[in-house]
A and B are shown apart, each in its own frame.
Chain A
Amino acid sequence: MMMSSKGFILITTLILMLILSCISLSMLVQTQLSQKLAGSATLSFQLKQHTQSKHLQELKQLKQSTAESDTFVIAPCPANYAAWSDWISSCEWYQVRTTERQAHHHHTVTSVLVRQSLPEGGRDGIL
């Protein structure tokens, strides 16, 4: 009788230990996951900020550079309140794309800009 009760306590203790370890293990995993989750938002935000600042820098460089970039097309100027005849003003459309990577994640910012200039000696308007 004494022997069977001892066995019962042992099995119960073992089962309890198993349950406890299961609970603690899942809690550990959950904590790790939430940490990752929390971290990913921060990382994503950092990546976005990094791409954004790099993109702004590229835009600034483009606006300051006098050399013509090879990624533009000459197309009609966008509508303006103070419009210009198309033979005295010309427009170039630029596309600036900045991509930053972090592990398996990447973030791209694309801007479309128009550069309007007044070339000297445009075509004549002949009647």
Chain B
Amino acid sequence: MEFYRLGLCLLLCSQQLFADSFWSHIPGKGSVQLTELSAEQHQSLAQHLQLDAEQTTEWLNELPTLLETISCSTVDIQGQPLPAYIDASYQLVSYAGALKFRTDDKTKQTIWWLPWTLLPTLSQLKTQLTDLNSHLHQPLLIAEQELGIKGQLIIVSGSSISQPAYFALKLDSLANLELLWSLSASAPGFTDLAGAVGQPLLIEQQKGSPGLSLLLANTAAKDPKTLIYKVDMMTGLLQAKLAAEQNISGVSGAMALSDQNRDSVSDSLVFGSTAGQIWQVQLEHNQFYQLRAVADLSALNFSDIQFIRTLYAAVPVGGAGSDFHSRRSQWLVLLGALRQQNTVFVVLKAQSEDVSSSSDLVDRTLPESPELALLTSQHWQHIQQKSGWFSQLSGRLTHIPVVAAGVIYLNLLKPNTEQLCNIEQSSSALMALHLHHASAVYRQPSLPLDHAAGALKVKANTQGGFALIEQHRQQVLIETMLEISPDCTHCSKTIQRDSFPRWQLMGTYHNEEGAYE
């Protein structure tokens, strides 16, 4: 009887092992499937894990269960679909560097890529993932159109805090995953790399530097010598470093590039600390310069920053009534930060001289009853004269908000802490806020959703306007989208499809030369 039980157990274990495939990269030996190791590879793994051969086999047998536990430890699991030329049925999710290629297609297997440096500490990963006060960033996918190489995809990801490393994978099919490069503290120029939980940022073609580059944040908690590394995308070779000057530490993994001089080349980087200090630095020709503080929002008690984005907009500056039409074109910094596991959304005007603090922002959190959500003229004037607004949202942002026609659409999720991985058990909502004063634009300020929404898309509807859809299920969330209008503070109108493409005359110049005889 015991023998049968053991046989059944072995059968089940092996079934699980064969159902998924697990890849890693043994330094000097190349990519290996952990379930099909040769004796020599098995020995290398045993040495790396500091286990004997038997314990290593046991570790390998327990790997599927361990990874299953890891997949159920976090809410930040927004999968990115792989491009169609690889396999569009797969989605990529990163669990602090452990990459999972998952699919709903039962005939296809789940593929895991585990960084070699992460293997010894894999069992400790769960503790890091269950910390809902920090945000888990997802990898960067660089597709063939950006690479200029047909059929190729490059995935760049950061790995856990205990063994910090950034790595890049190159693939032309899911059966052919290859490590392109891996950067840890042992790599030349990266000795002070102490945290790699950031989202890598791609810099497209810059003046004076051919090829693509990446920005990698050193998310070390204490006194890092380097804040940000600029590396070559294909080789991982160091191109530039942003040295810490002003006692900056605890850089969050969220960064955003913008084109301040509007010449189609990104030249400015905005980044922040997990506590909410925001900085801006200029970037040109492999050089960082003019590092300056933009805002200090540490009084808002953030535990991490989920994302930072910039937006160029015409912001009202005139006040109320007849002055309403005065506007100034300027850069806005949009950021989502975690506070007690909920999101605080901030719209900040990037002032060139002053460092904004939280007291310069107007609290525009929507009250429970929508009729109380009044925008007083005092608040409105304060928003226009000072640095912007913030709104506390009930739930956690799952995707970068979409700003469409001056309305910010936010995807929120209230995770069920008992069942973190089962996103269907969590309640979700979609919120739509006015870009300039955070009032509700639609009659209902928050739209409860049956399923947690994935990435949002704007799509033409049958009524000659635009609808907001959830991309994964193709579910219509808002049938007719509205556009804010500059005619008055709360004015809005339906976006008409026939108004696109929109032409705007920026200027006309006359030139006369020559003479009559």
A residues near B (Cβ < 8 Å) are 36, 39-40, 43-44, 48, 63, 73-86, 88-89, 93, 103-118, 120-122, 124-127
Q: Could you list 17 examples of A-B contacts with CB < 8 Å?
A: A73-B264, A75-B264, A79-B329, A80-B313, A81-B314, A81-B486, A88-B457, A106-B513, A106-B514, A107-B510, A109-B511, A116-B504, A121-B457, A126-B138, A127-B78, A127-B137, A127-B307
Give the complex CA separation of A1 and B460 in angstroms: 113
| Contact of B503 with A by CB under 8 A | yes
- A1: min CB distance to chain B, Å: 56
> How many contacts between A and B, using CB within 8 angstroms?
160
Q: Is the CB–CB distance between B516 and A115 below 8 Å?
A: no
Q: Which of B32-40, B179-187, B401-409 contacts A (4 or more CB under 8 A)?
A: B401-409
Chain B 286-318 near chain A by CB (<8 Å), digits 1 or 0: 000000000000000000001101011111100
Question: In the bound complex, do residue B514 and residue A127 qualify as a contact, i.e. CB atoms below 8 Å apart?
Answer: no
Q: B313 near A83 (CB under 8 angstroms)?
A: yes
> Which of B306, B400, B436, B485 has most chain A Cβ within 10 Å?
B400
Q: Given the interface contacts A85-B311, A127-B307, does A113 sit within 8 Å of B406 by beta carbon?
A: no
Report the minimum CB–CB distance from A82 to chain B (whole Å).
3
Instruction: Please report the C-alpha to C-alpha distance between residue A79 and residue B327 in the assembled complex, in whole angstroms.
Output: 10
A124 to B458, CA, bound (A): 12
Of the residues A82, A83, A109, contact of B509 by C-beta under 8 Å: A109
Contact (Cβ within 8 A) A39 B516: yes
Residues of A within 8 A of B486 (CB): 81-82
- Min distance, Cβ A94 to any Cβ of chain B, angstroms: 9
* Shortest Cβ gap from B61 to chain A (Å): 34
Chain A nearest CB: distance from B303 CB in Å? 15
B516 to chain A: which residues have CB within 8 Å?
36, 39-40, 43-44, 103-105
Q: How distant is B212 from chain A, measured CB to nearest CB, in Å?
A: 15
Does B80 sit at the interface, judged by CB under 8 A?
A: yes
Query: Which residue in chain A gives the minimum CB-CB distance to B80?
Result: A126
Within 8 Å by CB of A114, from B313, B500, B503, lies B503
The answer to whether A82 and B405 have CB atoms under 8 Å apart is yes
Chain A positions within 8 Å of B435 at CB level: 82-83
Residues of B within 8 A of A112 (CB): 505-508
Chain A CB within 10 Å, residue with most, of B76, B329, B508: B508
Of residues 97 through 140 on chain B, the ones whose CB sits less than 8 Å from some CB of chain A are 135, 137-138
Cα(A78)–Cα(B313), bound, Å: 8
CB distance from A60 to the nearest CB of B (A): 10
Which 4 A-B pairs have CB atoms at the shortest separation, nearest pair first? A125-B400, A79-B329, A82-B406, A83-B313
Q: Quick one: given A114-B504, A127-B76, are A82 and B484 in contact (CB under 8 Å)?
A: yes
Give every chain B residue within 8 A of A120 (Cβ-Cβ). Answer: 459-460
**Distance between A103 CB and nearest chain B CB, rounded to angstroms:** 6
User: Which residues of B, 240-270, contact A by the 8 Å Cβ criterion?
Assistant: 259, 262-264
In the complex, are the beta carbons of A127 and B311 less than 8 A apart? no
Q: How many of chain B's residues have a CB under 8 angstroms from any CB in A?
A: 64
- Contacts known (A81-B406, A116-B504); A127 close to B327, Cβ less than 8 A: no
Contacts of A81 in B (CB 8 A): 313-314, 316, 327, 406, 436, 484-486
B397 proximity list for chain A (CB < 8 A): 127
- The answer, yes or no, to whether B58 is at the interface (CB within 8 Å) is no
Within the complex, which residue of B80, B312, B460 is in contact with A83, where a contact is CB–CB below 8 Å? Answer: B312
| B329 partner residues in chain A, CB cutoff 8 A | 78-79
B-chain residues with CB within 8 Å of residue A109 when the two chains form the complex:
508-511
Complex contact A116–B307 (CB within 8 A) = no
Q: Is the CB–CB distance between A108 and B510 below 8 Å? A: yes
Given contacts A83-B403, A127-B307, 14 further A-B contacts (CB under 8 A): A63-B503, A76-B312, A78-B504, A79-B314, A81-B406, A82-B484, A85-B404, A111-B507, A113-B506, A117-B500, A124-B471, A125-B455, A127-B78, A127-B306
B135 / chain A contacts, CB cutoff of 8 Å: 127
List of A residues within 8 angstroms of B398 by Cβ: 127
List residues of B (437-475) whose CB comes within 8 Å of A's CBs. 455, 457-460, 466, 471
Chain A residue numbers with a CB within 8 Å of B327 are: 81
> Separation in Å of the A48 CB from the closest CB of chain B?
8
A85 in contact with B402 (CB, 8 Å) = yes
Q: How far is the CB of A76 from chain B (nearest CB, A)?
A: 5
Q: Are A116 and B406 in contact (CB under 8 A)?
A: no
Cross-chain contact of A126 among B400, B505, B506, B513 (Cβ < 8 A): B400
What residues of chain A lie closer than 8 Å to B501, measured between beta carbons? 115-117
Q: Quick one: which of A79, A122, A126 contacts B399, CB cutoff 8 A?
A: A126
Distance in angstroms between the alpha carbons of A118 and B307 in the assembled complex: 24
> B485 contacts A82, CB within 8 Å?
yes
B470 CB, min distance to chain A CBs, angstroms: 12
B481 CB, nearest partner CB in chain A, Å: 11
B262 touches A84 (CB 8 A): no
Determine if B506 and A114 form an interchain contact, defined as CB atoms under 8 angstroms apart: yes
Inter-chain CA distance A83–B255, complex, in Å, is 21
- Looking across the interface, which residue of chain A has its beta carbon closest to that of B492? A82
| Residue from B80, B406, B458, B511 in contact with A108 in the complex, judged by beta carbons closer than 8 Å | B511
> Interface readout for B408-427 with A: 1 if CB under 8 Å, 0 if not?
00000000000000000000
A63 to B501 Cα, complex, angstroms: 9
Which residues in window 475-517 of B have CB below 8 A to A?
Answer: 483-486, 500-517
> With the chains together, A111 CA to B488 CA distance in Å?
31
Q: Are B517 and A125 in contact (CB under 8 A)?
A: no
Minimum C-beta distance from B262 to chain A (A) = 5
Interface membership of B47, Cβ < 8 A: no
**Which residues of the other chain, B, contact A76 by a CB distance below 8 angstroms?**
259, 262, 264, 312
